Amino acid sequence: MYTKEELKKTIVNELGEYNLIVLSNREPYIHTMKEGRIKVQRPSGGAVTALDPVMKACGGTWIAHGSGSGDRKVVDKNNKIMVPEGDPKYTLKRLWLSKEEEKGYYYGFSNETLWPLSHIVYQRPVFREEDWQMYQKVNKKFADAVIEEIGRRNNKKTLVWIQDFQLALTAKYIKEANPNIICAYFWHIPWPNPEAFRICPFKKEIIEGILANDMVGFHIRYHADNFIETVEREVEAKTDRERNSLIKEGHETLVRAFPISVDFEEISRQVALEASLKRAKKLKKDLSLEGKIVFLGCDRIDYTKGIPERLIAFDKFLDKYPRYKEKIVFVQIGAVSRVLIKAYEDINSEINRLVGEINWKHSTSDWTPLIFSKEFVPYNDILTFYSLADVIVISSLHDGMNLVAKEYIASKNDYNGAIILSQFTGSARELQEAFFINPFNTDEFVDTIKQVIDMPQKEKEKRMKILRDIVSDNNIYKWAATVIQELSKFYL
């Protein structure tokens, strides 16, 4: 297993002379005010889950939007705070957005334009000129924060590692201010095929913004190839197939696939702690899960995650195999997200309605088939849920990677678990021992639920062992080291 110590060595060897700055929209720690007291929350979402352990191992500065109600209260005069609390390892620098900026850049262009455009799940993207203006303005603001940050430092060179679709133009503004700064970009969601992307009125500017980076990473080769094809169709650029790179106006951008992962060792350690085992017992008792087959869904509430599809499949399963009534419970944990957007409000209501209907239809005096928790669930409790669930169901209609699958595997120290996994997730490419479904095919979904329940324990354990080897061999530290090494071969 690749360790955080090895990553540290790689960083020292490859980046010894460099400042490392990470940029993302979402911050890794959110301070909220509750009843006059400040609490720290760890947001749900793949990008921060993956990057936090990397930053803890290598140190540096992470610049992100300060979105919590208590965020301003805890930072110093430079808007900085060392994190995590109690065991500080790196600097979080917060950048503030006005309501108007957040509306246009985050809710509008990021989540009503780029998110549906990239996922292609039949949610129509919205193109508003004013959102696009705000997106450019805020991307520039992130670039200015980088330039300001570098200004305060010594003459060391800087590597800026930009995360995700909210910041597609930032490298362009950084390079305009200082072309010597190395910029690497990671696009954490799918990149669509050229036919889907071509409808975007701002496509040329977005592509040119991304090509200002020295390297662009995607989770899987398929998305990287989609990006190359899109560039070839939309702008004047040369493709170098040997180096897998794109050259525009003399500037080269490497295009790579780096499947992201999780901190396998840490998750595995956490769930083995006495406190976690106690929590598992308590949760089982409190939720009447003892002696039941526990199915788990754990997602940010988003229309890409296929939550209604899985609830409908569960309903049909109980119709088709009524002998499982009272023997099985489906726990769905869902962190509400992007609630100001109508499509998110709609998906929330749809899930609430389905949970109500299915429970009304099947429940008995001693048994409720579905438990739906919309409350914020602390990360430790999520890990405990993973460890006690017999089966996790990941039914995304389209997903860049899906780290829930990998977190669940890391939590199964006893090999006792199985994954029902959508074939439309990036993680499906690596996790070949999962039980694959097409979430749009309800009958197949129902049969797969039955297949998992019927499979002999020994066979499930065998599959889980293989899955654990895959995730532990390809953990988050190896991912980060591979990115840095690839970059250093060419630029550092």
Q: Which is nearer to ligand G6P, 131 or 315 (CB)?
A: 131
CB of 185 to ligand G6P, least distance (A): 13
Tokens standing for 342? 């109508």
Distance CA(491)–CA(243), nearest Å, equals: 13
Q: Which is nearer to ligand G6P, 103 or 316 (CB)?
A: 103
CB of 45 to ligand G6P, least distance (A): 3
Q: Which is nearer to ligand G6P, 19 or 337 (CB)?
A: 337
Q: Dihedral angle at the C-alpha atoms of 369, 372, 378, 379, nearest 10 degrees?
A: 60
Task: Report the residue number whose CB is nearest to ligand G6P.
Answer: 45
**Cα 336 from chain centre:** 15
CB of 365 to ligand G6P, least distance (A): 39
CB of 24 to ligand G6P, least distance (A): 7
Q: Which is nearer to ligand G6P, 77 or 342 (CB)?
A: 342
Running DSSP on this structure, what letter comes out for residue 197?
A: H
Q: Which is nearer to ligand G6P, 47 or 298 (CB)?
A: 47
Report the candidate in 279, 301, 262, 470 with the shortest Cα–Cα distance to residue 387: 279
Distance CA(66)–CA(64), nearest Å, equals: 6
Q: Which is nearer to ligand G6P, 10 or 118 (CB)?
A: 118
Q: Which is nearer to ligand G6P, 160 or 237 (CB)?
A: 160
CB of 223 to ligand G6P, least distance (A): 12
For strand 435-437 and strand 418-422, is the pairing parallel, antiparallel, or unpaired?
Answer: parallel
> Which positions touch ligand G6P (CB under 6 A)?
26, 45-47, 164, 188-189, 300, 337-338
Three-state DSSP class for residue 424? coil
Three-state DSSP class for residue 127? coil
CB of 430 to ligand G6P, least distance (A): 18
Residues 101, 109 contacting (CB under 8 angstroms)? no
Tokens standing for 374? 């919309």
Q: Which is nearer to ligand G6P, 98 or 485 (CB)?
A: 98
Distance CA(460)–CA(409), nearest Å, equals: 12
Tokens standing for 238? 């040369």
**Cα 393 from chain centre:** 17
Task: Give the burial string for 39-67 (b: 16+ CB within 10 Å, else e).
Answer: eebbbbbbbbbbbbbbbbbbebbbbbbbb
Q: Which is nearer to ligand G6P, 64 or 420 (CB)?
A: 64
CB of 67 to ligand G6P, least distance (A): 9
CB of 450 to ligand G6P, least distance (A): 31
Rg (C-alpha) for the chain, rounded Å, is: 23
Alpha helices in 186-244 (DSSP H): 194-197, 203-210, 221-234
Please, which residues bridge with residue 37 across strands? 34
Distance CA(141)–CA(139), nearest Å, equals: 5
Three-state DSSP class for residue 21? strand
Q: Which is nearer to ligand G6P, 24 or 253 (CB)?
A: 24
CB of 111 to ligand G6P, least distance (A): 6
CB of 300 to ligand G6P, least distance (A): 6
Q: Which is nearer to ligand G6P, 189 or 370 (CB)?
A: 189
Distance CA(338)–CA(125), nearest Å, equals: 15
Residues 223, 436 contacting (CB under 8 angstroms)? no
For strand 18-24 and strand 61-65, is the pairing parallel, antiparallel, or unpaired?
Answer: parallel
CB of 168 to ligand G6P, least distance (A): 12
Residues 418, 435 contacting (CB under 8 angstroms)? yes
